[in-house]
Amino acid sequence: MGWDQAAEAIVAAGRRMDARGWVPATAGNFSVRLDARRLAVTVSGRHKGFLTTDDVMVVDLDGVAEDPAKRSSAETLLHCGIYRRFPEAGAVLHGHSIANTVLSRAAGESLVLAGFELLKVFPGLATHEAEVAVPVVPNDQDIARMQRGLDALWDGLPSVPPGYLIRGHGSYVWAPDMPSALARMEGLEFMLDCALKERSLR
Ligand SMILES: CSC[C@@H](O)[C@@H](O)C(=O)COP(=O)(O)O
Ligand SMILES: [Zn+2]
């Protein structure tokens, strides 16, 4: 995807995520794959609901900035990890919702979503009569180490996961393009909201 389109898609995604309350303070980060070696990603520390295209920058798949004067997202290496591993990934979204934060703190190594019609937002699922295990990984301020843990986890999975949760921190999803990534994020967060409400009814 070209730079202009990618940067606009990221700005619009920020507004959408902010409207849903999923990027409080300066939380969250987003990216779009530009070509085989480069991605457009959010600059670190910006409020994601008020981004302009100046708050988007280019890094390579090692996370090295094209413009060294700009500092990319603290979690850039998690974006790079997704693009490196999953060739079909064209856009990545990360958000900090109440539901993903609370449920990931209570979960074990994965959080199982079952019986929801919205499971069909995930690839390969054509019915609600399914269950999806969303991996939950420990939070870590050492992002390179976190990505090594994710790579080890992915090595052992039988299929591409629908995304993942970082415990007490947030969610990551990806898809071939930004509209599909937003749909996956909205589907995942809807189901997490439901799961949280179900727990409070118990
Ligand atoms: C507001 S604290 C959140 C950050 O530590 C981080 O997890 C985050 O999502 C945003 O970091 P950023 O460097 O702006 O991409
Ligand atoms: Zn985060």
Give per-residue pLDDT as tens, 17-53: 999 999 999 999 999 999 999 999 999 999 999 999 9
- The pairing of strands 131-137 and 164-166 is parallel
Q: Specify the residue with its C-alpha closest to ligand 1, atom 4.
A: 27
The reply to whether 128 sits in an annotated binding site is no
Q: Is the CB of 74 under 6 A from ligand 1?
A: yes
Tell me the pLDDT band of 117, cut-offs 50, 70 and 90: very high
Q: What is the maximum alpha-carbon separation in the chain?
A: 52
The domain that holds 192 is classified in CATH as: 3.40.225.10
Of the chain, the percentage scoring pLDDT greater than 90 comes to 99
The reply to whether 96 sits in an annotated binding site is yes
Give per-residue pLDDT as tens, 153-198: 999 999 999 999 999 999 999 999 999 999 999 999 999 999 999 9
Q: Considering its fold, how many domains does the chain have in total?
A: 1
Task: Compare 30 and 123 and report the one with higher pLDDT.
Answer: 30
Q: Residues 83, 61: contact at Cβ < 8 Å?
A: yes
- Which ligand is closest in space to the CA of residue 24? 1
Within its chain, how far is the Cα of 78 from the centroid? 9
Average pLDDT, the chain: 97
Q: How far does the centroid of ligand 2 lie from the alpha carbon of residue 45, in Å?
A: 10
Q: Specify the residue with its C-alpha closest to ligand 1, atom 2.
A: 27
**Residues spanned by the domain of 137:** 3-201
Nearest to 26 by CA among 9, 8, 51, 52: 51
Q: What are phi and psi of 90, to 5 degrees?
A: -120, -15
**DSSP label at 169?**
T
6: exposed, middle or buried (Cβ count in 10 Å: 0-12, 13-18, 19+): buried
Is residue 8 helix, strand or coil? Answer: helix
Q: Specify the residue with its C-alpha closest to ligand 1, atom 15.
A: 73
- Which ligand is closest in space to the CA of residue 25? 1
Which pTM was predicted? 0.98
DSSP string covering 65-118, please? BSSTTS-B-TTHHHHHHHHHH-TT--EEEEE--HHHHHHHHH--SEEEEES-GG
pLDDT at 1: 86
Nearest to 58 by CA among 31, 28, 82: 31
Ligand 1 atom nearest to 42, measured from its CA: 15
Q: Is the CB of 126 under 6 A from ligand 1?
A: no
Q: Is the CB of 29 under 6 A from ligand 1?
A: yes
Residue type, 63: G
pLDDT at 202: 85
